[in-house]
Amino acid sequence: AVNAPTQCVVSGPHELLKPFEDDLAKRGIKARRLSTSHAFHSAMMDPILARFSTSVAALTFHEVRIPWISNLTGTWIQRDQAADPSYWVRHLRETVRFSAGVRTLLEWRSAVLLEVGPGRTLHTLAQRHPQASETPVLASMGGRDQEEMPGLLMTLGALWGLGVPVDWKGLHG
């Protein structure tokens, strides 16, 4: 995963990562191990790709109505990609291009980036992007310990303060 211009995640079997980690340490490059259940986006996913492809091919895809950035390409999703089972197999197996996706979003002059959901991981990564210095980057919740409604209302107020239109009737409904 390429999360920022100076931050990436490398995945694979421990016996192969240890020499890599040692080499980074010798070069003075900071590294830390992530606690995760699987090495997603690595060759360790290969055993499930055929079964995953069969499952995805059985789904009915609908036309993209809301444009979104692909973590596989770092650019806007294309209609043919979103409905192609092989795209989703590649998404499971190939490099996540989060940093490129942030760069694509930042091409909008009036962009406001908002992470929706618990935590602040994407928020933090987007803030680290060198081109994001002039762009508001918000998270919908202050953190895992913050109650949901106050966090959402604070974020809504911040969005409104940045000029994002708010459907007040919808909020109170």
Per cent of the chain over pLDDT 70 is: 97
> Phi, psi at residue 27, to the nearest 5°?
-85, 0
Query: 94: pLDDT confidence band, cut at 50, 70 and 90?
Result: very high
The pTM assigned to this predicted structure is: 0.83
Instruction: State pLDDT tens for residues 152-163.
Output: 888 889 999 999
Q: pLDDT tens digit string along 56-81?
A: 999 999 989 999 999 999 999 998 89
CA distance 166 to 170: 9
- Residues 6+ positions from 62 with CB-CB distance below 8 Å: none
- Return the higher-pLDDT residue of 109 and 43: 43
Structure tokens at 145: 């310990």
Q: How far apart are CA 71 and CA 103, in angstroms?
A: 12
In whole angstroms, give the CA distance from residue 91 to residue 71.
Answer: 8
CA distance 162 to 37: 38
